[in-house]
Amino acid sequence: MSSTMGPIRPIRVLLANSSPLQVHLLRAALKRRPELECRTCLMQSNEILEEMKGGQVDVVLVSPGARCDDDRILSIIRRIRLSRPDIPIVLLYEDGSDNLLMNAVRAGARGLFSFSEAPFRALCKCIERVYEGQVWLSNDQVRSLLDMLAQSPPLRVVNASGADLLTPREEQVVALVAEGLSNREVARELQLSEHTIKKYMFRIFDKLGISTRVELVLYAVSNGKTVGAERLPALA
């Protein structure tokens, strides 16, 4: 029986770059991939947001040049995230510091990619993964993110209006997971069974529309509101 479904459309990628030579080479490489459709613009907030109008972009690649300072990179990522939180952002970097990379994730990036660490075909896979709603981070970057969160105040997960999305107990679970604790360690900390913690995790995932612990940490970083440094009190 023949299928009546049409072909799956390519993922529409917007490449924002400050280096004409680099953008030419990267665009040419991306255009050879039938699953991707690439457009380009200068790495300036206004130009990027203008290109994103009309819903013609699925993934934004932010590719700063060597002379682009960290504050500008983070400002652009934040503006994209605030304007279109539904569109994932990937930061292409060369020698980014851990501080820049982790702050890029906090600002809204869902992927971090370096050609010095992975081949071009991995970038195509990265684009597909973030388009599907996943994140693209190395194991070292995940550890760095967890270390950074462990030194920060706990987070309340809120929506765009500032309203709490989780119950106080669920917030406790998120705070401990963000510190890198396993389900067993969270259960020990809260004096609950591991089975109960698993039920909390499933409920949290369902409320936030996510499916992994890494996504939960990233969601908390991007949508969290810091509270006092003291851990929430135990609940009955």
Cα separation, 124 vs 92, whole angstroms: 12
pLDDT-based confidence at 59, cuts 50/70/90?
very high
pLDDT digits (tens, 9 = 90+) for 7-47: 478 999 999 987 777 778 888 888 889 999 998 998 888 88
* Of 71, 110, 115, 76, the residue nearest 93 (C-alpha): 115
Angle 168-178/194-208 helices, nearest 10 degrees? Answer: 100
Whether pTM exceeds 0.75: no
Ramachandran angles phi, psi of 16, nearest 5°: -100, 115
The correct CATH number of 146-226 out of 2.60.40.1840, 3.10.20.30, 1.10.10.10, 1.20.1290.10 is 1.10.10.10
**pLDDT exceeds 90 at position 90:** yes
173 and 231 Cβ atoms separated by less than 8 Å? no
Residues of the chain with CATH 3.40.50.2300: 11-137
92 and 25 Cβ atoms separated by less than 8 Å? no
Strand order in the sheet with 111-113: 36-42, 11-17, 59-63, 89-92, 111-113
Give the pLDDT score at 224: 54
* Of 175, 190, 189, the residue nearest 221 (C-alpha): 175
Mean pLDDT of the region 168-180: 80
- The per-residue pLDDT of the chain, averaged, comes to 79
Superfamily of domain 11-137: Response regulator (3.40.50.2300)
